[in-house]
Amino acid sequence: MKRIFICLLAFLMFGCSEGQESEGAKRHAEFKPEQYKPYAVKGKGRIKGSFCIELDNGQERCLAQQLVLLNPVTDYSTEWYERYWKNGEILESPHNAAAARSRLVRTMSNGDFVFYSLPPGEYYVAAVACPYAGNGDKRQPFNYQRWGAKVTLAPGVKSVKAVLEKVLEYEDEEAVEDEEEAEQDGAEQEEDDE
């Protein structure tokens, strides 16, 4: 179970690197352990939200079984959020202590998610809309998307809501190829009909 969690966390933090070299771009921000120290304690706060997106047909759907990551805001994690999460730049592997402070959950059947026992502080909430998650090989009617928010859990506040915004979308190359192939077949059929 722990191995699965680490693989999922790695996917969120570094991206899918199938067919690419495992080394990413050099990080500019230095890992500073003191910036992570406030997040090392168990707190009483929680961050919750709903992960709902617009489908290709314009309808809204709240997504079940999608990955949501919580990452404390530090200089190091801000670089990850800006360069990798929002811009898709593959970065070198993070420092182990930074990765250990991240948390990962899956959305419930109604698209809701909750992170419990959080100390006060600022957090990045990052969610992945994967068109194949929880559905085997059947593609859902949306592209791979990354969503995110920066959330502040103030001292004494028990719960805050994360309002996610789409920060990056990848077009499904396979779906584009299928569409182009269908268009070409249609054009050939028209020629044959003439």
Domain locations in the chain as residue ranges:
2-16+29-193
Span 80-116, pLDDT tens digits:
999 999 999 999 999 999 989 999 999 999 999 999 9
114 neighbors 106 (Cβ within 8 angstroms): no
Structure token digits, residue 142: 């949306």
Residue type, 83: R
Q: What is the pLDDT of residue 187?
A: 45
Q: How far apart are CA 134 and CA 126, in angstroms?
A: 18
Give the mean model confidence (pLDDT) for residues 119-144.
Answer: 84
**CATH entry, 2-16+29-193, from 2.60.40.10, 3.40.1080.10, 2.60.40.1120, 3.30.300.180:** 2.60.40.10
11-45 pLDDT per residue, tens: 454 443 333 345 789 999 999 999 999 999 999 99
Which of 120-124, 172-176, 181-185 ranks highest by mean pLDDT? Answer: 120-124
pLDDT at 182 over 50: no
pTM confidence score: 0.77
List helix spans (H) across 43-171. 75-79, 96-100
